[in-house]
Structures are given as structure tokens and as C-alpha cells.
Amino acid sequence: MPFASRLLCLLDRVSAPSTVHAHCDIPCGVYDPEQARIEAESAYKIIEKYQASDDELFRQRCVIVKEERTELAKHHISVLWSDHFKPEHLEQFPNLHDVFWRALKQCSAVKRSVDSQEAQKLLDLIDEIDAMWQKTGGLETTRKNGRPSA
């Protein structure tokens, strides 16, 4: 983890109570686009493996599991939109609704497809969401201790 992030984490720990309450009014306050990204990455790799295989059973299972993973990505994206982002963020990100709408529709596209470019588009949209989330101070509200160095 780079120095700047460590510093943010340290500051986070010192000033946690007030910062956290500023970002959430429901019993959690922990939102992280990683949840959506991990499911979307899973869909991406499942498509890669589907394309690399000619085992009929394996390919059927890929379609089943991709459906589930993408549904989870959809759920996590929807929660970020409705729960993390607040009306004041809309001024900061005038295309907020549009990015989220396209991201959710892209999840449907990934369900329908076995083209890894569709999964890549979803990952790109989640990256756009992540960038907005970071600008609202998202990183400070999660990763209490930062990922440990191995």
C-alpha cells in the first residue's frame, strides 16, 4: 500500500467516529465497489474459460455460475447507488445515475453473452463507479487497517 493511503488510514483511525457518521445514516456505512468488481472479475474469467474449453458439461456449468455471479454484481452495484451516494454527490457527479444505469444494464449484457469484451465493459464501468466512490471519501470508510503486507 502506498504511503498516501497508509496516511489516510492512519488519519481514519484517529478520527473514525465523526468521519464515519458523516457518510452513513443506516447501521453499516461500509460500501466498497470491490464487492461488485470481484463478482465481475469472476464473470470475466468464467467467460475466458468457457471460450478455452470444448467440454460441454464444463461450458454448461460456466453459464450457470456466470448467471449467479453477475446477479451478485448487479446487487452490489444497486446498493452502492441507492445507499452510498447521496443527493449532494449528484452535483459532484452529474452523470452519476447514467453510469450506474449503464453498469446495471451491462450486468444483464454479461448474463446474455459469452464475449469477454462485454465483461470488460462491466469492469470498466465499475472502475468509473470506484473513482466516484473514492472521491466521496470511500476509501476512508473501509479497510480499517489496510490490507496487510504479506
For the CB of residue 48, give the shortest distance to its own copies in the complex, in Å: 7
First to last CA, the chain: 11
The answer to whether residue 150 forms part of the interface with its own copies (CB under 8 A) is yes
Instruction: Say which amino acid occupies 146.
Output: G
Judge contact between 118 and 109, C-beta under 8 A.
yes
Q: Which of 22, 92, 117, 127 is the binder for its own copies (CB under 8 A)?
A: 127
For the CB of residue 11, give the shortest distance to its own copies in the complex, in Å: 16
Residue with grid cell 454448461, as numbered in its chain: 60
Query: What 8-state DSSP symbol labels residue 107?
Result: H
Q: Which of 9, 36, 44, 93 is the binder for its own copies (CB under 8 A)?
A: 44
Judge contact between 83 and 127, C-beta under 8 A.
no
The Cα 73–Cα 36 span in angstroms is: 4
What is the number of other CB atoms lying within 10 angstroms of the CB of residue 5?
A: 14
Question: What residues from 58 to 87 belong to the interface with its own copies (CB under 8 A)?
Answer: 58, 60-65, 67, 69, 74-75, 78, 81-83
Q: Which of 57, 91, 93, 110 is the binder for its own copies (CB under 8 A)?
A: 57
Q: Maximum distance among all alpha carbons in the chain?
A: 55
Cβ-based neighbours of 113, under 8 Å, separated by 6 or more: 47, 119
Q: Which of 27, 54, 88, 94 is the binder for its own copies (CB under 8 A)?
A: 27
The residue ranges that bind its own copies (CB under 8 A) are: 2, 16-17, 20, 24-30, 32, 34-35, 37-38, 41-42, 44-46, 48-50, 52, 57-58, 60-65, 67, 69, 74-75, 78, 81-83, 97-98, 101, 104-105, 107-108, 111-112, 114, 123, 127, 130-131, 134-135, 142-145, 147-150
